[in-house]
Structure 1
Amino acid sequence: MSISMETKVQSEGGLNVTLTIRLLMHGKEVGSIIGKKGETVKKMRDESGARINISEGNCPERIVTITGPTDTIFKAFAMIAYKFEEDIINSMSNSPATSKPPVTLRLVVPASQCGSLIGKGGSKIKEMRESTGAQVQVAGDMLPNSTERAVTISGTPEAIIQCVKQICVVMLESPPKGATIPYRPKPASTPVIFSGGQAYTIQGQYAIPHPDQLTKLHQLAMQQTPFTPLGQTTPAFPGLDSSPPASTHELTIPNDLIGCIIGRQGTKINEIRQMSGAQIKIANAMEGSAERQITITGTPANISLAQYLINARFRDMAALWNDPSSMTTS
């Protein structure tokens, strides 16, 4: 989130500035915001008075930029939050699920401002959670090829709107330091699965043979890289000093979503471990905490693949919520 003009704060009217807020959304979320023939986003622009732009490109993630005076920004934000809540309610109409998932939005914030957002010893973010009722999470790592981080806000639309207002105040009081390299999502790369020396890409529910050059590349890699079962400390590339060192990445997942990552008797998490080659540890539930910590250890490539597979699992579950007829026990 960046500020496009100098700050002015009114004692009665609250904020009086022009802001630019950047949101990170998945393709399905973007489709909901655009609506049929662009009708939904046009209505949001007209009724809020804010400028709403959506990044181009065939990307799994898109950037939605909202610009305008603060009152128009908050109206647009409210319309988006209520639209997402409507989508959740519609997806549950024929679903056996009894608890309604929270609305979740992700802001993109310069990393230099995240310290102010968290506060000393986490005091500021704790205060925001308690006063608004929203869950707020600041990503530990910067988004790829940028100096920005994702800030995830979950809760009711009302809680999210109040939380965004407080975040805006903090961001205005602590402007970004230095130049910000904005996050630009990369075009979609189709997941590739290798089996029997052949590469396949997943299209819908089917595995389609992949172009030969990738198959040959995989075969070459398999000749040089014996598979190392999970838990062994043998380097993945024996004899090569240039292999990237192991590192660790942490994720925080709400308790009510951890089950879809673990799967029945741990089947899903074991699948993710095997496919990614990363070590994945899920912390025990802490009393009074609504979240669980996931620690991913491995090379940067292992970690990236594990994160992708975890996110894909969330997308699969969201698809099941939206299409209850396809729901199976997992």
Structure 2
Amino acid sequence: MESKVSEGGLNVTLTIRLLMHGKKGETVKKMREESGARINISEGNCPERIVTITGPTDAIFKAFAMIAYKFEEDITNSMSNSTATSKPPVTLRLVVPASQCGSLIGKGGSKIKEIRESTGAQVQVAGDMLPNSTERAVTISGTPDAIIQCVKQICVVMLESPPKGATIPYRPKPASTPVIFAGGQAYTIQGQYAIPHPDLTKLHQLAMQQTPFTPLGQTTPAFPGLDASPPASTHELTIPNDLIGCIIGRQGTKINEIRQMSGAQIKIASATEGSSERQITITGTPANISLAQYLINASSPDPDPLGRNTFPA
């Protein structure tokens, strides 16, 4: 893609990810046309969207200038209906691979301090990674001009210090997608609606049935919990170390939820020195194991961490 050399002689294709709320389809279309950058917005009914801006650095700066001024315009419009007297700053949230955040902060915070002082923008790098990812949020706030200067400096740092290792991108999830089991059906909550979930329903029904088949020669239905229940079996999986945190969850909440929902026993082996994978042992009926595998798959940022889709979408 041909383009003029931008300030500082940068003319490299770069991708910047940004977190935004809501849909701004028309605005994005206009920004694409006027900036020359490729701008994509993540799909899904999430309150947060990831906006990916790709192109030569000058096209990226142009797109950011348009975003910053659009945000300021929105703030001005919202203030005309409010009693507030002081105008809040424009705030943008970038999503940056954690492996690049060290260079952005600099030794003893020297780089981030220099960026704050030279641009007049406030810059904060989140201490924790965004859920199920190896990316962190970098919040920039200030006047549109300060934000544009700040983004330019961040781009320079990102170009000088490329990400190390594989990056697991942050994918916003719906605000909450609890699963409800009612009347033998599984539903996921989306907005104000309960949406039937056939895969989970099928698995849940299997897992909850203590007597999925009648043993040969037995004419009367077996009572739940008697010998008719299928024998427990064991299944082993290997999961990459960088995904294990998403499956365990904060203080083990996720794995406990999977144990409870699937009815399976799940053991995660300790990390072995020099190994990039962890062993997970699932014990239960075939249906318990299937449901546990399905839920492990669903809780991972990788759409198929087990290398096999239990249920194709």
Q: Given the two structures, how large is their TM-score scaled by the length of structure 2?
A: 0.56
Do the aligned partners of 1:19 and 1:67 also contact (CA within 8 Å) in 2? yes
Q: Distance in 2 between matches of 1:165 and 1:128?
A: 10
Q: CA deviation digits over 1:136-166, x for unaligned, max 9?
A: 0000001111110000000001000000000
Aligned residues: 310
Structure 1 gap segments, 5+ residues each: 27-34, 317-322
| Cα distance change of structure 1 residues 276 and 36 upon mapping to structure 2, 3 Å threshold | same
Do the aligned partners of 2:214 and 2:228 also contact (CA within 8 Å) in 1? no
Q: Distance in 1 between matches of 2:99 and 2:289?
A: 24
Q: CA deviation digits over 1:212-247, x for unaligned, max 9?
A: 9x9999999999999999999999999999999999
| Cα distance change of structure 1 residues 200 and 281 upon mapping to structure 2, 3 Å threshold | same
Residue 262 of structure 1: how far off its partner (Å) = 32
Aligned to 2:306, what secondary structure does the other structure show? helix
Aligned to 1:142, what secondary structure does the other structure show? coil
| Cα distance change of structure 1 residues 98 and 56 upon mapping to structure 2, 3 Å threshold | same
Do the aligned partners of 1:248 and 1:297 also contact (CA within 8 Å) in 2? yes
Q: CA deviation digits over 1:160-201, x for unaligned, max 9?
A: 000000001111111111111111111232799999999999
Do the aligned partners of 1:117 and 1:124 also contact (CA within 8 Å) in 2? yes
Aligned to 2:16, what secondary structure does the other structure show? strand
Aligned to 2:164, what secondary structure does the other structure show? coil
Aligned to 1:315, what secondary structure does the other structure show? coil
Aligned to 1:226, what secondary structure does the other structure show? coil
Large movers: runs of 4+ above 2 Å: 5-9, 11-14, 35-39, 190-212, 214-316, 323-330
Q: CA deviation digits over 1:231-287, x for unaligned, max 9?
A: 999999999999999999999999999999999999999999999999999999999
Match runs of 1:36-185 below 5 Å:
38-185=25-172
| Cα distance change of structure 1 residues 201 and 169 upon mapping to structure 2, 3 Å threshold | same
Aligned to 1:219, what secondary structure does the other structure show? helix
Bigger Rg, which one: 2
Match of 1:232 among 210, 218, 237: 218
Residue 104 of structure 1: how far off its partner (Å) = 0.4
Q: Distance in 2 between matches of 1:89 and 1:252?
A: 53
Structure 2 gap segments, 5+ residues each: none
Q: Distance in 2 between matches of 1:235 and 1:107?
A: 60
Residue 39 of structure 1: how far off its partner (Å) = 2.5
Q: Distance in 2 between matches of 1:113 and 1:162?
A: 19
Worse-matched range after superposition: 281-290 or 181-190: 281-290
| Cα distance change of structure 1 residues 148 and 194 upon mapping to structure 2, 3 Å threshold | same
| Cα distance change of structure 1 residues 238 and 249 upon mapping to structure 2, 3 Å threshold | same
Residue 38 of structure 1: how far off its partner (Å) = 3.3
Q: Distance in 2 between matches of 1:293 and 1:94?
A: 57
Structure 1 position 223 matched with structure 2 position 209:
yes
Structure 1 position 326 matched with structure 2 position 313:
no
Whichever structure has more helix as a proportion of its residues is: 1
Do the aligned partners of 2:132 and 2:243 also contact (CA within 8 Å) in 1? no
Residue 75 of structure 1: how far off its partner (Å) = 0.5
Do the aligned partners of 2:207 and 2:291 also contact (CA within 8 Å) in 1? no
| Cα distance change of structure 1 residues 57 and 228 upon mapping to structure 2, 3 Å threshold | farther
Worse-matched range after superposition: 95-104 or 222-231: 222-231
Residue 304 of structure 1: how far off its partner (Å) = 28
